[in-house]
Amino acid sequence: MPDIEWVYIKINGIALKVPKGEMIIESAKRIGVEIPFFCYHPRLSMKEGGANCRMCLVEVASRMPDGSLRKMPKPQTSCSLPAAEGMEIETDTEALNADRRGVLEFLLINHPLDCPICDRGGECPLQNNTMHYGPPTTRFIEEKRHFPKAYPLSQYVVFDRERCIHCARCTRFTRDISGDEELNFLWRGADMEVATFDHTEYNSRFSGNVIELCPVGALLSRPYRFKARPWDLQSAKSICTQCSNGCNIKLDYRLDRIHRVNARLNEDVNEEWTCDKGKFGMDYISDESRLKTPMIRRNGELSPASWEEVLYLIASELKNAEGEVAGVGGAYSSNEDIYVFQKFMRETLRSKHIDHRMGPNFQSYNSGLLKRFGCPAMGNPIAELEDMKSTLIFGSNFVDEQPILYLRVRKGWRFKRNKVVEAAPQGLISEEIRHVTQFAEVSLNYKNGTELPLAQGLLAALFEDKGRPLGEQKLLSHLSGKNVAQCASETGVDEKDIRKAAELLATDKMCIFAGEYVTHSPDATAILEVLGDIAVLTGNAGNLNVPVSRNNEQGAMELGILPDMLPGYVEEQNPGMNTEEILSACVKEDLKALWVMNTDLVKEYHNSDLANSAMDACPFVVVTALAITDTAAKANVVLPVHSVAEKWGTFTNVERRVQAFCKAFEISPDIHAEWKVFSDLSSMLGSPMTYADGKDILNEIVKSVPTFAKCGPNTLGDEGVILNPVAGGKE
């Protein structure tokens, strides 16, 4: 911890100690003194466009060198006023109240009073502050400024120019946080408006956040437009299911329909941001296409059936299969479902053939990573990423694969002067020019498919740099005798760039991200070995991150939906078949039944022909699904299961953080939780599982899986808990 210099100040006569330079608006929060504001936001920089709403005025008296107090003649904006020794601040005086009334009267001159039809009405800072501090009436009798209503900025955001109070929160967000710099101010004075350059579409992966940031109803959600008012909505704490980052969200729903998704604060994961995939992608929960009854294939057609009928059919088929059963999927189910699924397969059905992995090469590199670094996933927690002095993003379309990790890395670059090195295939950089490349110190733009030589080049450059400790000689073996120049010519990257990148990476706080271009490459194992060497050589062993991409893929790994690992990465002596072998066995008709767990296998498996023919060839396929997908359409039995909004459960996110989500509503009593299906079937097959609810299962996981020891339902809290490290597996 760096030493903090403390200063003593007084706010409204209350003495307090705050770090030197802290903005007074933050200091006031420490003692619960409220200062009204619009434009201030702790995560947005004050430079270039801050302190412009003039709402947070306070009266200040500073301590002079001779010890006397000197009052500033005019009020100051507390959001841009750093605390200094001996400062005395007043936040509630007659003069300030008059000033605030004046500021609000000015803001309301051009602000239309259409609160009843404004989607922000009821949760609007302008409305609230006007009620608290504003004048009761207006003296402005002239015509207000008029613009066309509801200008569509993008497919997600509409913009009402009349309502804008020019606080610059959205423009600062696009510059400081999302990094696309799409929004900016056009014109000046009363004509000032927020716009994209040349009025093109607002094209951002994080556009939804400006809706939450806007302190008035100027930037509004297009899907949510006129859907409900804040007081109509109920809210459930939840976790986003669109990618593995595990953003904390609030599902705002009315009856059984999700109306909008807002971010929930979690400093360790998403801070208070969401990406558009999550914010506008959770509609599937209350979609019309949701399956509401079990379906059985009769005469070639799927037709509705009762749960009793379906479960008896499945139980008898599975009994006849006598262990020649396999299960795939699970990356979209909760930890509880996953645990019960693997228990059902392993203990009730006596089958080891389960796997959740859908991409190529997983089998080969997962075990390598596990042996070397103790975990085939991320080595660093998300919150640590912003403190990494340099970050290597290797073969990844980072902003799309890991949007929240991207925001962290960018935050480190923007606010902490960290360096970023990007290595991406040539096509990718030109298409995604606005993202990591935009702020990367060095961009290594390699020929497609040359990930391995490039990684070797970086390693060779680190070795050749005489100033660095050479590390273990065995690392040299991964170089296959190449030097930097050879690697440079092989990859089409300038040799100087490789050396410069290697120099940037040689710091004591460095981390490496390997993306899909690495994990999907045929050389995945070798590339990850070399990247691991780079981490070891720079003294950052373990800082190799291979983030998973799907919702609860990490949980599926931790809880043993793997043919060779039991829950908690306990090695299985006689491993079962992996996804590819399972599907091939289905084609050869070696398996009598296949269970597909809430996954659109046909679409997701990297070889869709194999998946299709396996589904066709397997005599009995059970699919648990939210809706009839391409995979479910080929199944013998389809079971409707709960989505994230209909049950309590936990997900494990990309940094191995277990986070709980709460039940919001029930769509139909004929939709069951997945674990319920397995425990019912297990009882019918003669080995009863007695779980009352998800918390029961989590308690059992806590008892039986050592990595989950700290994750009991009562200890998770709102922010979740990171899993224990895997015992005995780190270099």
Partner 1 sequence: MAETLNRTFTPIAQGMALTLKHYVKMLTARKENIATFQYPEERREQFPRTRWRHVLTRYDNGLEKCIGCSLCAGACPARCIYVEAKENTDENRVSPGERFAIKYEINMLRCIFCGYCQEACPTGAIVLRKDFELSEYSRQDALYTKEMLLEPILMKK
Give me the residues that bind partner 1 (CB under 8 A), please: 114, 116-117, 121-122, 149-150, 225-229, 231-232
Distance CA 535, CA 304 (A): 55
CB of 425 to partner 1, least distance (A): 44
CB atoms within 10 A of CB 212: 17
CA angle 699–702–708, rounded 5-degree value: 140
Question: Smaller CB distance to partner 1: residue 286 or 437?
Answer: 286
Tell which residue, 181, 243, 240, 239, has the closest CA to residue 399. Answer: 243
Question: Smaller CB distance to partner 1: residue 122 or 323?
Answer: 122
CB of 149 to partner 1, least distance (A): 6
CB of 442 to partner 1, least distance (A): 49
Q: How many helices (H) and strands (E) does the chain have?
A: 24, 31
206 neighbors 178 (Cβ within 8 angstroms) = yes
Question: Smaller CB distance to partner 1: residue 164 or 493?
Answer: 164
Helices 495-505 and 484-491, packing angle to 10 deg: 120
Question: Smaller CB distance to partner 1: residue 122 or 360?
Answer: 122
CB atoms within 10 A of CB 588: 10
CB of 152 to partner 1, least distance (A): 12
Question: Residue 206 CA to chain centroid, in angstroms?
Answer: 11
CB of 671 to partner 1, least distance (A): 24
Distance CA 145, CA 583 (A): 65
SS3 445: strand
656 neighbors 268 (Cβ within 8 angstroms) = no
CB of 195 to partner 1, least distance (A): 21
CB of 159 to partner 1, least distance (A): 14
Distance CA 165, CA 190 (A): 10
Question: Smaller CB distance to partner 1: residue 187 or 226?
Answer: 226
Question: Smaller CB distance to partner 1: residue 227 or 468?
Answer: 227
Q: Which letter does DSSP use for residue 174 in this model?
A: I
CB of 116 to partner 1, least distance (A): 4
Question: Smaller CB distance to partner 1: residue 223 or 492?
Answer: 223
Distance CA 210, CA 160 (A): 13
Question: Smaller CB distance to partner 1: residue 31 or 150?
Answer: 150
Q: What amino acid is encoded at 508 in this protein? A: D
CB of 224 to partner 1, least distance (A): 11
Distance CA 703, CA 711 (A): 10
Question: Smaller CB distance to partner 1: residue 121 or 712?
Answer: 121
Helix or strand run (H / E) with residue 512:
strand 510-514
CB of 259 to partner 1, least distance (A): 11
Identify the bridge partners of residue 594 per DSSP, sorted by sequence position: 326, 621
Dihedral, CA of residue 448, residue 452, residue 458 and residue 461, to nearest 10: -120
Tokens read off for 716: 């998770």
What's the burial of 679, exposed, middle or buried (CB within 10 Å: 0-12/13-18/19+)?
Answer: buried
SS3 126: helix
Distance CA 338, CA 345 (A): 11
Tokens read off for 209: 């956040």
606: left (phi over 0), alpha (psi -120 to 50) or beta: alpha
Identify the bridge partners of residue 195 per DSSP, sorted by sequence position: 184
Question: Smaller CB distance to partner 1: residue 199 or 225?
Answer: 225
Question: Smaller CB distance to partner 1: residue 187 or 231?
Answer: 231
Question: Smaller CB distance to partner 1: residue 283 or 589?
Answer: 283
CB of 122 to partner 1, least distance (A): 7
Tokens read off for 576: 């079962």
Question: Smaller CB distance to partner 1: residue 114 or 267?
Answer: 114
CB of 280 to partner 1, least distance (A): 18
CB of 150 to partner 1, least distance (A): 7
- Dihedral sign from CA coordinates of 372, 374, 375, 380: negative
Residue count of the chain, please give it: 731
